[in-house]
A and B are shown apart, each in its own frame.
Chain A
Amino acid sequence: MAFDTFVFILVSGIVLGGLYALMAVGLAVVWTTLDVFNFAHGAFVALGAYVAWQVTQFAPGPQGFVFATLAATIFMFVVGFLLHFCLIKPFERSPNIVLLAVITTLAASSIMESSIQLIWGPREKQIEAAVSGRFEFFGAGIGANDLLALVVALAALAGLALFLRRTSTGRAMRAAAQNREAAELMGFNVAILFAVALGIAAATAALAGAFIGSLRFINPTFGADPLMKALVVVIFGGVANFTSPIYAAFILGIIESFSIYYLGLYWAPAVLFALMIAVLIVKPEGLFGNRQKTL
């Protein structure tokens, strides 16, 4: 393999990893706080992308993309926040909460995808990228929009980490995730904190969706693929620390890129799922995990 090809595949994998990290961290935040798996996460990605696309129709150009991304992120935060009170909160004391959450989040996913189809139609769309052109990097041409996606994903993850570690709301979310009963005894409004967690998950999904929509075509059900990839990332890396799924996302992004090059587009997902099964057998808590779920 030529060196420039190697660099190109590597950078593509890192960009992919950045977007996977953004989606996986959203899933992990919900998993560690609400203790449920959110099957609506893919629909969050899709709805966020469509809201961003809609805004770019009114405000084209680079500034329009920035505005669209912000609007989609804020809109999806509100959607996620409110959905907590419909999808999770009514069932939180039920012994079957995990199963019920699977059903309610799958139902929400279906409703959101159908709503996207009704509002925007089934035809594929693409969001106008904020930046265009290519950079020469060790002989490989790297898209400026790809690099922007990576930088924004890393900045968003750093911002989320700071929020969780340095702000009182973030600290309270981490505490409630670790010991709900003790948090309630300290007067935490756990319902609001958990709603914020789902809101954050939806907001990060929307941010990822807006960038995915600027890199490839989107349709109402395109969120299913990112959801599966985020699931693989979370299982692969574990959720012991905030950074566990991030490391896993970059590793899997790079593996996927090289798999596409060597094995082809259709075999790359199979490689990722085979790795996921291997990790589940060898280290079920995830490569970077321990047996404790924390935030």
Chain B
Amino acid sequence: MAPFFEIRNLSRSFGGLKALSNLSLVVDEGEIVGIAGPNGSGKSTLFNVITKIPFGSSSGEVVFRGSRIEGLSDIAIARMGIVRTFQRETVFRSMSCVDNILVAIEQTLGARGAEAEKLADEASEIVGFPRNFHNVPAAALPIFYQKQLMITTAVAQKPKLLLLDEPASSLIEDEVDWVHEVIKKLNSMGITILLIEHVLPLLTGVSSRLLVLEQGSRIALGPVDDVIRNPVVVEAFLGKPQ
């Protein structure tokens, strides 16, 4: 049986700079794969080339549920159920929170009117986004609730593969605990997740496997416990022992 999601020899260059270099990864359905690496190691670039927004890969293959998707349009990829969140709070700032959720449902799932509103309520319920914020302009929310709104919007699109890019950045400890719980909850609902995160307790706490990148290349991939003890990984994060 074909894997749920696979990338084969994926590369992306910007002139002479290789942002991703021959990266391969197989992800099973229902898995959470954590992605770690220093800044500039190619983590967000990987999400960019999977979604083709703002750019696709230079070479290599992306296979989703048995079909190659790297040649499809960014719109087609988005509508297949591959949903991404950003490390910064990306909401439509002057629109109300419920309009943020509704517009995603309308464009991705094609639902309208009462059906779309029902889906928005369901997503808010799953994530725990307070409904009394629904009519508040998104820009007026504190950062934590903007993150909640972004994840609610992602969930409302009924993702099959969720690409979470540093969901815990800028959050305090209790809020990171909430991110931990919500990732576990989404995964228990059958959503496969790729998670980029610098908060290592969160990354290692929710992931079944870890992929570690450095300068666009894979330096480790495997079960969490194995990877965090891998001397190559320790050196990449902490430097070479004197």
A contact residues vs B (CB 8 Å cutoff):
168, 171-172, 174-175, 178-179, 181-189, 241, 292, 294-295
Contact B92 A179 (CB under 8 A): yes
List A contacts of B99 (CB < 8 A): 171, 174-175
Whether the Cβ atoms of A184 and B75 lie closer than 8 Å is yes
Most buried by A among B86, B93, B107: B107
Report A-chain residues with C-beta under 8 Å of the C-beta of B86. 182
Taking CB atoms, residues of chain A closer than 8 Å to B79 are: 187
Q: Is B95 close to A, CB under 8 A? A: yes
Alpha-carbon distance A51/B108, docked complex (angstroms):
38
Question: B83 at interface (Cβ–Cβ under 8 A)?
Answer: yes
Q: In this complex, what residue of A is CB-closest to B116?
A: A168
Q: Is the CB of B107 within 8 A of A188?
A: yes
Is there an interface contact between A186 and B108, defined as CB atoms closer than 8 Å? yes
Complex Cα spacing A174 to B94, Å:
9
A172 with B107, Cβ < 8 A, contacts A178-B93, A178-B95 known: yes
Contacts of B107 in A (CB 8 A): 168, 172, 183, 186-188
A294's partner among B53, B75, B93, B103 (CB-CB below 8 A) is B93
Task: Please report the C-alpha to C-alpha distance between residue A186 and residue B75 in the assembled complex, in whole angstroms.
Answer: 8
CB atoms of A294 and B157 under 8 A apart = no
Q: How distant is B204 from chain A, measured CB to nearest CB, in Å?
A: 27
Answer yes or no: B182 CB below 8 A from chain A CBs: no
**B interface list, Cβ under 8 A from A:** 51, 53-54, 74-75, 78-79, 83-84, 86, 90-95, 99-100, 102-104, 106-108, 112, 116, 153, 157
Q: Are B94 and A185 in contact (CB under 8 A)?
A: no
Residues in A whose Cβ lies below 8 Å from that of B100: 175
User: With contacts defined as CB atoms under 8 Å apart, how many contacts are there between chain A and chain B in the complex?
Assistant: 73
Q: Which residues of A contact B75 (CB under 8 A)?
A: 184, 187-189
Q: Is the CB of B94 within 8 A of A178?
A: yes
Cβ 8 A contact of B90, one of A172, A179, A188, A241: A179
Decide if B95 touches A175 in the complex (CB within 8 Å): yes
When the two chains form their complex, are residues B103 and A185 in contact, meaning their CB atoms are under 8 A apart?
Answer: no
CB-based closest 7 A-B pairs: A187-B78, A294-B94, A168-B106, A187-B79, A175-B92, A171-B103, A178-B92
Most chain A CB within 10 A, of B92, B93, B104, is at: B92
Contacts of A188 on B, CB cut-off 8 Å? 75, 107
Shortest beta-carbon distance, B112 to chain A, in Å? 6
CA distance A166 to B82 in the complex (A): 27
Residues of A within 8 A of B51 (CB): 185
Shortest beta-carbon distance from B219 to chain A in Å: 28
Distance (Å) between the CB of A36 and the closest chain B CB? Answer: 19
Q: Which residues of A contact B95 (CB under 8 A)?
A: 171, 174-175, 178
B93 x A292 contact (CB < 8 A): yes
Q: How far is the CB of B171 from chain A (nearest CB, A)?
A: 20
Q: How far is the CA of A295 from the CA of B90 in the complex (A)?
A: 17
| A207 to B187 CA separation, bound complex (whole angstroms) | 53
Residue from the set B74, B79, B83, B95 with the largest chain A CB neighbour count within 10 Å: B95
Known pairs A174-B92, A292-B94; A184 contacts B104 (CB<8 A): no
Question: What residues of chain B lie closer than 8 Å to A292, measured between beta carbons?
Answer: 93-94
A residues near B92, Cβ cutoff 8 Å: 174-175, 178-179, 182-183
| A286 nearest CB across to chain B (Å) | 15
A186 and B78 within 8 A (CB): yes
**Taking CB as reference atom, which chain A residue is nearest B163?**
A185
Flag if B53 contacts A184 (CB, 8 Å): yes
- Residue among A174, A181, A241, A294 making CB contact with B54, cutoff 8 Å: A181
* Alpha-carbon separation in the docked complex, A294 to B116 (Å): 24
For residue B208, give the distance in angstroms from its CB to the closest CB of chain A. Answer: 25
**Residues on the B chain within 8 Å of A172, using CB:** 103, 106-107
Question: A184 is contacted by which of B78, B83, B93, B106 (Cβ under 8 Å)?
Answer: B78
Cβ–Cβ contact B93 & A186, under 8 A: no
Alpha-carbon gap, A128 to B40, bound state (A): 66
Q: How far is the CB of B193 from chain A (nearest CB, A)?
A: 16
Distance in angstroms between the alpha carbons of A185 and B153 in the assembled complex:
11
Residue numbers in B under 8 Å from A171 (CB-CB)? 95, 99, 102-103, 106
Query: Which residue on A lies nearest to B99, using beta carbons?
Result: A171
